[in-house]
Chain A
Amino acid sequence: MIFVTVGAQMAFDRLVRAVDQWAKDAGRSDVFAQIGPAEYTPEHIEHVGFLEPPEFTERARAASVIVAHAGMGSIITALTMGKPILVMPRRGDLRETRNDHQIATAQRLSELGKVAVAMDETELVERLGRLDDLASTGTIGPYAQDSLIAAVRGVVFPSQDR
């Protein structure tokens, strides 16, 4: 199953439309999408507006690949589950989010080898066409880096030795 998620806050019709068209052309019937408050209604993929956290986790777990906006909730969920993830960043100039921070995030995380990135719909469809190339980058642990935990802990328990 391919699980598509655009987060809960804002629609991302550009991504959903591209996946919907691709599913039709490629004859894929195993796509499930959480599309948020969308204006575009997909015709070829199963979809829902919003998933509560437990259902979200279940859908993500059942997926072989996650396709998402470049939001950290989606990305961290995929990484903790060891799922390959393909992201398309939202664009500020199209009012898909408040600025272009998702573009920068996607680029950095791509450089770190954490996610696969499609910058636009054309790249997304092209990348979806060779989904088998998408490999998991390995599972990350449930918690932040030890050095960050230690720094925070030092303020929470100032009198203790770290």
Chain B
Amino acid sequence: MADEKASKQTPRVLAIASGGGHWVQLLRLRPAFEGARVTYVSVRPAYASDVPGERFIAINDATRWDKVGLLKMALRLVFIMLRVRPNVVISTGAAPGYFAIRLGKLLGARTIWLDSIANVEEMSMTGMLVKDKASLWLTQWPHLAEDDGPTCHGSVL
């Protein structure tokens, strides 16, 4: 009974990023999910080897210039979100994270956006677009933190 209750309280986390640096930065947050049921989503099937023993789903990659690719990605994410029913959605960017944060918010999940450390001069475009959808809206650079803007609690380095 206690176990059942505990498992009901175990948060379901959807951790999502596109490839390369975005994915590498997401992996560096893993201790924050310890004790949660995590589903990782990214754009290369081979990334499954980075999260052995954990649930991993690959989706197509697309940028803002590829409208068909973006639509396909968004639809795929709708299905993933309905299946996973995450309590928390976290992303380090870019396009996949943008859709996931929006969908997560729509489904009542708590949402976390961590803008890439590569965005040194300003928040990314995707980061700006999720401003009002993220429960926690983070930059990794203290000089970009603002009272009514992103907060900074340190970096992935």
Contacts and interface: CB of A to CB of B under 8 A. Distances in A.
Interface string A106-149: 01100000100000000000000000000000001011111111
Nearest to B28: A144
Interface string B125-138: 00000000001101
Interface residues of A, number: 38
Given A104-B121, A149-B29, A157-B36, A144 B19 contact: no
B24 A73 contact: yes
A114 B88 contact: no
Interface in B100-152: 110, 112, 114, 116-121, 135-136, 138, 140-141, 151
A5 B145 CA distance: 32
Interface string B76-120: 000000000000101000000000000000000010101011111
A84 interface: no
Contacts of B29: 143-144, 148-149, 152
A147 B28 contact: no
B25 A76 contact: yes
Given A142-B28, A148-B140, A151-B154, 18 more contacts: A9-B19, A53-B50, A54-B46, A72-B25, A73-B20, A73-B21, A73-B23, A75-B21, A101-B119, A144-B32, A145-B157, A148-B29, A148-B114, A148-B155, A150-B32, A155-B135, A155-B136, A156-B110
